[in-house]
């Protein structure tokens, strides 16, 4: 005989009632003041963000009953009411389970709660995150961190008999050690300083709302170090951190941050069944007939990719390089491309760092890479060398040569010199295939410079400017004809010249031909820079 539900409710045992009551303190519906404070800042609570991120009913929370280690200075009742979960909501949940199934969508989620002691890292807070990181290392599932908070917490007096400085804790080492094992996503809305920022900076990708301030030290630490008094909004604002490459994706608010995090994770969770392809015939007309005119490489990418599948990283940093993720027939790829609208697509130090990091993320987590090449080579000159150009651009050769995922190179227009080789994994025969569109042109260096320096004596010997210009144009046209894609392919220096409208087919056939990666990536970590 089944007992009616109302009778069960009437017979709740005291210990169960106590448990239900304790958990209720951390729920948003029982914390109206905290919810209101967040709402006034156009922010959601940590629990609301976790609830939005995870599939309904999938999140199980660890350590929900923790409170701040301040029993010696505050009543337990006050701590239970005001420091639920010790300011860190942590557990396991599914993200995008409706697309990829629950098994492929399991993630570890940790969210600092700014309504609890400004999201600071306390004694039990650290103990909880260490427990979660041990689980992460065992399960090797994606990790999502909501990192808003003020760093270390000095007020946990209960820990004074246990620790002095707390520098022997394992949190940061174990968090850093997780890099390369599974995708790591950092999300920020509001201030994120010190220890919180240290964890954020270890993530593969940082998604930040426009109201974010990110720094290795906040105003309190800065003033304590005798470095002056600053407002929170003066330290690491979003316009600074997006231009210097710290932030990968800038979003409007918490809601968009969660939506973008889901989209980012989806590329590493598998292919999708529903997709729509743009009209590929448009690719035939995107490269100007005048070879000196610029064009928008982002339009090329969006036309090549499935509709609405392009997610760009760091658009305000390393502007000569475009990096991100796309899908082709639902299959995910990493993509990198030269941007001829910035320095004609010449690769600068920041561009190389950006490309190298995209390679590392894809290689670590098993995404094939597409490289769209249109570059006159590496940037040169006295000014660029002051930015350690030699070391930075050579990261592309070192990292590219160690990539184990399929790599496909397509030259849309210019493929000159060492820069073009770096874009093609180190050389034109290093990729699974290296193809060119009919607009492709090649040379050991830029053709104009090759003519000017290679034929300098002959040109200088001609006194008449018009006659000198005519010879220059003649030699340039000869070199251009020699470096045309069709001629390049006839010497087998590239694999094929293809119809731009056929690029998707080439990439998909190349992916089908690539041997499956049967072993996990040997890449030990993803470089934070």
DSSP string, 459-503: HHT---HHHHHHHHHHHHHHHHHHTBHHHHHHTTSSSEE--GGGH
Helix (H, G, I), strand (E, B), or coil: what is residue 137? Answer: helix
User: What's the CA gap between 109 and 92, in Å, rounded?
Assistant: 6
Contact (CB, 8 A) for 148 and 112? yes
CA distance 171 to 130: 6
Residue 9 scores a pLDDT above 80: no
Burial of 232 (C-beta count, 10 Å sphere; 0-12/13-18/19+): middle
106-112, strands of its sheet edge to edge: 60-62, 88-94, 106-112, 143-146, 184-188, 205-209, 249-251
Is the separation of the CB atoms in 497 and 438 below 8 Å? yes
Beta carbons within 8 Å of 217's beta carbon, 6+ residues apart? 151, 193, 194, 225, 235
CA distances from 453 to 384, 445, 449, 458 (A): 21, 11, 6, 10
Task: Name beta bridge partners: 192.
Answer: 149, 214
Confidence bin at 311 (pLDDT 50/70/90): very high
Half-sphere exposure of 493 (CA within 13 A, CB side): 18
pLDDT, tens digit, 9 for 90 and up, residues 458-496: 888 888 888 888 888 788 778 888 889 999 999 999 999
Distances (CA, A) of 260 to 43, 181, 248, 255, 336: 16, 21, 11, 9, 19
What does the block give as tokens for 97?
């389970």
Asked whether 384 and 419 are in contact (CB, 8 A), the reply is no
Q: What are the residue boundaries of the structural domains of the chain, listed by start?
A: 32-266, 280-440+484-513
Residue 467: Cβ within 10 Å count: 11
Phi and psi at 440, nearest 5°, equal: -65, 145
Round to whole Å and give the CA distance between 448 and 455: 11
Q: Taking residues 95-104, what's their average pLDDT?
A: 93
Predicted confidence (pLDDT) at residue 1 exceeds the cutoff of 50: no
Cα→Cα distances 519→366, 404, 405, Å: 10, 10, 11
Which architecture does CATH list for 32-266?
Alpha-Beta Complex (3.90)
Give the closest residue to 301 by CA, choosing from 335, 263, 270, 329: 335
- Does the pLDDT of residue 450 top 90, yes or no? no
How far apart (Å, rounded) are the C-alpha atoms in residues 425 and 366? 16
Position with higher pLDDT, 210 vs 167: 210
Helix/strand/coil percentages in the chain, nearest 5: 45, 15, 40
The fraction of the chain above a pLDDT of 90, given in percent, is 81
> What tokens appear for 105 in the block?
């969508």
Q: Which residues contact 19 (CB under 8 A, 6 or more apart)?
A: none
Instruction: Give percent of the chain with pLDDT exceeding 70.
Output: 97
pLDDT tens per residue across span 373-410: 999 999 999 999 999 999 999 999 999 999 999 999 99
Closest alpha carbon to 41 in 234, 233, 328, 293: 233
Mean pLDDT, the chain, whole residue set:
93
What CATH class has 280-440+484-513? alpha beta
**What is the residue whose two structure tokens read 């005001």?**
82
Instruction: Tell me the C-alpha distance between 476 and 14, whole Å.
Output: 90
- pLDDT tens for residues 164-206? 888 888 999 999 999 999 999 999 999 999 999 999 999 999 9
The burial of 166, by beta-carbon neighbours within 10 Å (0-12 exposed, 13-18 middle, 19 or more buried), is given as middle
**For residue 447, pLDDT beyond 80:** no
Angle (nearest 5°) at CA 51 between 12 and 36: 90
Q: Around 318, how many Cα atoms within 13 Å sit in the side-chain half-sphere?
A: 31
CA dist., res. 215 & res. 111, Å (int): 18
pLDDT score of 464: 82
Going by C-beta distance under 8 Å and a sequence separation of 6 or more, which residues neighbour residue 487? Answer: 481
Q: Residue 519: is its pLDDT beyond 70?
A: no
* Confidence band of 520 (pLDDT split at 50, 70, 90): low
Q: 32-266 and 280-440+484-513: same fold?
A: yes
Q: How confident is the model at residue 79 (pLDDT cuts 50, 70, 90)?
A: very high
Confidence at residue 108, expressed as pLDDT on a 0 to 100 scale: 98
**DSSP annotation string for 302-351:** HHHSPTT--EEE-TTSSTTEEEEEEEETTEEEEEEEE-TTTGGGPBPHHH
Identify the band that residue 267 occupies on the pLDDT scale cut at 50, 70 and 90. very high
Query: Using H for helix, E for strand and C for coil, what is the string for 66-123?
Result: CCCCCCCCCCHHHHHHHCHHHHEEEEEEECCHHHHCHHHHEEEEEEECCCCHHHCECH
Mean pLDDT, residues 48-60 taken together:
97
* Euclidean distance between CA atoms 175 and 262, whole angstroms: 21
Q: Is the distance from CB of 347 to CB of 415 less than 8 angstroms?
A: no
């Amino acid at each position: 005989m089944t007992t009616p539900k109302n009778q069960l409710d009437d017979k709740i045992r005291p210990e169960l009632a106590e448990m239900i009551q304790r958990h209720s303190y951390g729920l948003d519906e029982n914390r109206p003041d905290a919810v209101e404070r967040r709402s006034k800042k156009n922010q959601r609570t940590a629990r609301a963000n976790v609830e939005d991120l995870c599939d309904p009913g999938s999140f199980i929370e660890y350590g929900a009953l923790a409170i701040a280690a301040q029993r010696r200075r505050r009543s337990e009742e006050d701590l239970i009411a005001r420091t639920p979960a010790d300011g860190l909501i942590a557990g396991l949940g599914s993200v995008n389970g409706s697309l990829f199934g629950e098994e492929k969508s399991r993630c570890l989620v940790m969210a600092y709660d700014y309504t609890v002691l400004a999201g600071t890292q306390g004694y039990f807070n650290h103990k909880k995150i260490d427990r979660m990181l041990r689980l992460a290392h065992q399960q090797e599932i994606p990790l999502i961190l909501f990192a808003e908070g003020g760093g270390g917490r000095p007020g946990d007096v209960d820990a004074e008999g246990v620790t002095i400085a707390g520098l022997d804790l394992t949190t940061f080492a174990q968090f850093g050690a997780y890099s390369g094992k599974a995708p790591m996503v950092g999300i920020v809305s509001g201030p994120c300083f010190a220890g919180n920022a240290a964890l954020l900076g270890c993530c593969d990708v940082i998604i930040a709302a426009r109201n974010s301030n990110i720094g290795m030290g906040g105003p309190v630490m800065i003033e304590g170090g005798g470095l002056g008094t600053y407002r929170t909004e003066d330290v690491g604002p979003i316009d600074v951190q997006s231009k210097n490459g710290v932030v990968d994706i800038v979003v409007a608010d918490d809601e968009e941050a969660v939506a973008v995090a889901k989209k980012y994770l989806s590329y590493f969770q598998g292919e999708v069944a529903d997709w729509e392809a743009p009209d590929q015939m448009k690719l035939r007309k995107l490269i100007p007939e005048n070879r000196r005119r610029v064009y928008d490489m982002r339009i090329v990418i969006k036309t090549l990719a499935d509709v609405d599948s392009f997610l760009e990283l760091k658009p305000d940093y390393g502007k000569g390089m475009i990096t991100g993720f796309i899908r082709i027939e639902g299959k995910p790829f990493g993509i990198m491309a030269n941007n001829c609208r910035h320095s004609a697509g010449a690769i600068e130090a920041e561009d190389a760092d950006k490309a190298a990091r995209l390679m590392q993320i894809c290689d670590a987590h098993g995404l094939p890479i597409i490289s769209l090449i249109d570059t006159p080579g590496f940037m040169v000159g006295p000014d660029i060398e002051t930015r350690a150009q030699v070391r930075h651009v050579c990261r592309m050769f070192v990292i590219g040569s160690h990539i184990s995922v399929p790599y496909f190179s397509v030259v849309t227009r210019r493929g000159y010199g060492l820069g073009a080789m770096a874009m093609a994994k180190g050389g034109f025969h290093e990729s699974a295939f290296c193809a060119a569109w009919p607009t492709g042109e090649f040379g050991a260096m830029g053709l104009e410079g090759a003519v000017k320096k290679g034929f300098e004596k002959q040109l200088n010997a001609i006194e008449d400017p018009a006659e000198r210009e005519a010879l220059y144009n003649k030699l340039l046209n000869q070199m251009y004809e020699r470096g045309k894609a069709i001629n390049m392919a006839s010497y087998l220096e590239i694999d094929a010249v293809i119809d731009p409208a056929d690029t998707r087919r080439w990439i998909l056939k190349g992916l089908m031909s690539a041997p499956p990666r049967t072993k996990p990536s040997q890449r030990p970590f993803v470089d934070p820079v």
